[in-house]
Amino acid sequence: MLLELIPGQIWHATAPLSFAGIGMHTRMTVVRLADGKLWIHSPVKPGPGLRESLDGLGAVAYVCAPNRFHHLFIEDFMAAYPEALLFMAPGLPNKRPTIRHPRILADYPEPEWRKDLDQLVFAGLPMLNEVVWLHRDSGTLILTDLCTCFKEDAAALTRFVARLLGVYRTLGMSHTIRLMVRDRSKARASRDRILDWDFQRVIVAHDHILMTNGKDAVAHAFAWLG
């Protein structure tokens, strides 16, 4: 089900996902650009209900696989929306060589959406290569796996693991993702660029969105980088 997050501008849908036996949700984010086209971040499986909701919002124009982990439903989604342009995080096409003709996301916004969204590739973390966006008009940061936040509504095992990884009841960079950082100074530089952006809300793929005080929370999540 598609839920409206920012009236007229941003919607999201979640789908259950099991990762190494740990139950969680993954989130798709939909931005309606100023020109009316829909920009899709980290698509979930496009069932009939979801397609009907999306089609009611506008034309699906751009689809983004935002990091090297978030690509599971790309083929299903592109089959449902073959006219859309597909964009992938750097390094992802090597993992999914059968997906044809994706454009590779850069460290600056694509011309198709630069009026609405800022964009960077979070550096120093090549296993993930996450691309990060800011929806300028609503002050919304869009992350995928860089930071996560689980709460009481998660399953018991998920809560236990989230606590171990430092992402329970707080927005954090999980210990698993921290271990993937290969160049802290590059990661710091990306963090600083994000913190220069003007935002209050933070969307993450897992599990809870922050609607207020997002910048303080992101600064806290990345503080370990020094």
Site residues for Fe ion per CB under 5 A: 145, 205
Nearer to Fe ion, 61 or 177 (CB): 177
Number of Cβ within a 10 Å radius of residue 177: 20
Smallest gap from residue 82 Cβ to Fe ion (A): 25
Smallest gap from residue 92 Cβ to Fe ion (A): 13
What is the longest distance spanned by two Cα atoms in the chain? 46
In angstroms, rounded to a whole number, what is the distance separating the alpha carbons of residues 128 and 146?
8
Smallest gap from residue 126 Cβ to Fe ion (A): 17
Nearer to Fe ion, 30 or 61 (CB): 30
Nearer to Fe ion, 33 or 125 (CB): 125
148 contacts 163 by C-beta, under 8 angstroms: no
Nearer to Fe ion, 118 or 145 (CB): 145
In the bound state, the residue with its beta carbon closest to Fe ion is 145
- Half-sphere exposure for 102 (CA within 13 Å, toward CB): 25
Nearer to Fe ion, 120 or 205 (CB): 205
Nearest to 65 by CA among 35, 37, 95: 95
Smallest gap from residue 204 Cβ to Fe ion (A): 9
For the chain, give percent helix, strand, coil, nearest 5.
25, 30, 45
Beta-strand runs (E) in 20-114:
22-32, 38-41, 60-65, 85-88, 103-104
Smallest gap from residue 206 Cβ to Fe ion (A): 6
138 contacts 116 by C-beta, under 8 angstroms: no
Nearer to Fe ion, 174 or 190 (CB): 174
Which residue bears the tokens 């460290």?
107
SS3 155: coil
SS3 118: strand
Smallest gap from residue 9 Cβ to Fe ion (A): 23
